[in-house]
Structure 1
Amino acid sequence: MFSPQGPSLGELCVQALSSVERGYDLLAPKFDHTPFRTPQSVLGATADALSGLGPFSHGLDVCCGTGAGMQILGPLCQERITGVDFSAGMLAQARSAHPDATWVRADARALPFAEDFDLAVTFGALGHFLPAERPALFEGVYRALRPGGLFTFPIGSPPPLASVSHWATLGFDVAMRVRNAVWRPPFVMYYRTSPLSAVRDDLSAAGFTTTAVALTVLGRHRDGSPRCRLILARKPAEGH
């Protein structure tokens, strides 16, 4: 599951018993050698889907981690690209890998931007927000975008009930709920708290017009449904 350069079991246990911020500070130096990093296949599929939707000027990676999203923003955006995260450790790794980008430490539930960006992306971050926290996240991204700006992110489709993936994600979420019930500080990371319908409702409530594109290159479930979709949430242009 992990490369030799990845974290040890002991290091993962320490991370799991920390807060989200502290846990990622500890994991940051080895994060890119774990399965938690956004796969290149997902980044590539997202880039291909966005290639015809530009041009974009300024780009923002929300909950940027070690900066994998810069592979998307760099080629698509003609000017400044920015990453925001609340983990100083993750930002340090991102800054080292992408020194030409701008890096901001902030809580994504209170983004410090106002109409600064044409494109915003996020990868693998929704599980770190409880359903009650998503509105603040989406409203902050909405404020950060210029009129007509685009907020986009891949979202996995729920696996079939009989699949191994279904029971694996269910088991993980149950274990995390038990952990958070008996241990403080909490570590918020769930796979099953951001269904597509709820995410679309929250985006609409924030003011976005939302569509979803099937990323069929990433495969399909046995029932033919796509394993992953790309959310395209557009902030209305001025006068609309």
Structure 2
Amino acid sequence: MFTPQGPTLRELAVQALSSTMRGYDLLAPKFDRTPYRTPDRVLDAVEGTVRPLGPFARGLDVCCGTGAGVGVLRRLCGERVTGVDFSAGMLAVAQAGQGPTPVPGDGPAVDYVRADARALPFAPVFDLALSLGAFGHFLPRERPGLFGQVHASLRPGGRFVFPVGAPPAVGSRAYWSLFGFDAAMRLRNALWHPRFVMYYRTFPLPAVVGDLVRTGFEVRLLPMEDLGRRPDGSPRARLVVATRR
């Protein structure tokens, strides 16, 4: 699963026994060499699905990590892009340019802010907010507050977008893999402190859409056609487009 330049088993074990924030601080220098970084084909599919919804001036990458989403926003936004994350280590990698290759030529200004996504320090100035691969770090009871913070950071009519993959078939290898991972994390958090919050099966789309609507968003689901369709014809992934009323 990992390249020779990626984290060792010992490094992953130390990360897994740390808090969520400390774990990502430790993993940050090698994060982009792990499968945890959002794949380029997903980044391209997100960009291609979002672009027709523009134009956009100011973009916000929520839980930006090493900056994969910032790269997408730099190609979509014309004025300024902000990445926000609670991990100083991940932000340091993003700022050092060890994440995605910067867009050639002139582009929007980019800045990074260290903050918890549950307490965003922004006025409602963003046209577009994006988040990639971070929702497993929030418990279901935290979702409404998280969505409320993003809502408050968007101007009226601003959009909050994120991809959601189709759930694996019950009984499939992927199903049992995710089930086993979540079970192991629950056991770890019951027996060991500080907690490392990361779950794959706590973000069901119907509940997520309900929380967004109650927060004050209008929600559309767009198929991400570049990622293909399943044998039954349904898309392998959808883009959630939540618009601030």
Work out the CA distance in 1 between the residues paired with 2:231 and 2:117: 36
Q: Which residue of 1 aligns with 2:42?
A: 42
Instruction: Describe the SS at the equivalent of 1:18.
Output: coil
- 1:180 paired residue among 176, 189, 194: 189
**Alpha-carbon deviation of 1:171?**
0.6
Q: What residue in structure 2 maps to residue 200 of structure 1?
A: 209
| Deviation readout 1:32-77 (Å, 9 max, x if unpaired) | 0000000101100000001111111110000000000022100111
Instruction: Give the aligned partner of residue 93 of structure 1.
Output: 93
Residue 221 of structure 1 and its aligned partner are, at CA, apart by 3.2
The separation in 1 between residues aligned to 2:7 and 2:207, in whole angstroms, is: 34
Q: Which runs of 5+ in 1 are unaligned?
A: none
Match of 1:153 among 137, 142, 162: 162
* AA of the residue aligned to 1:76: L
Alignment of 1:235 onto 2:244: yes
Q: What is the deviation of 1:220?
A: 3.0
**Alpha-carbon distance between aligned partners in 2 of 1:230 and 1:46, rounded to the nearest angstrom:** 7
AA in 1 matched with 2:89: G
Q: Distance in 1 between matches of 2:190 and 2:233?
A: 37
**RMSD of aligned C-alpha atoms?**
1.2
TM-score by length of 2: 0.94
Give runs of ≥4 in structure 1 deviating > 4 Å: none
Counterparts of 1:225 and 1:189, CA distance in 2 = 27
Task: Say how many residue pairs are matched.
Answer: 236
1:224 CA drift (Å): 3.0
Alpha-carbon deviation of 1:219? 2.9
Match of 2:228 among 189, 196, 219: 219
Structure 2 gaps of 5+ residues are: 103-108
CA contact (8 A) 1:95 1:101 kept: no
**How far did 1:157 drift?**
1.6
Determine the C-alpha separation between the residues in 1 that align with 2:42 and 2:3. Answer: 20
Of Structure 1 and Structure 2, the greater strand share is in 2
Distance in 2 (CA, whole Å) between partners of 1:95 and 1:181 is 35
Between the aligned partners of 1:217 and 1:166, the Cα distance in structure 2 is 23
For 1:70, the equivalent position in structure 2 comes to 70
1:156-175 aligned at under 5 Å gives the runs 156-175=165-184
Match of residue 132 from structure 2: 123
For 2:106, the equivalent position in structure 1 comes to: none
Q: Deviation at 1:216?
A: 2.9
In structure 2, distance between residues paired with 1:138 and 1:179: 27
2:162 alignment partner, SS class: strand
Residue in 2 that maps onto 1:136: 145
Residue 105 of structure 1 pairs with residue 114 of structure 2: yes
Residues 176 and 189 in structure 1, CA contact (< 8 A), matched pair in contact too: yes
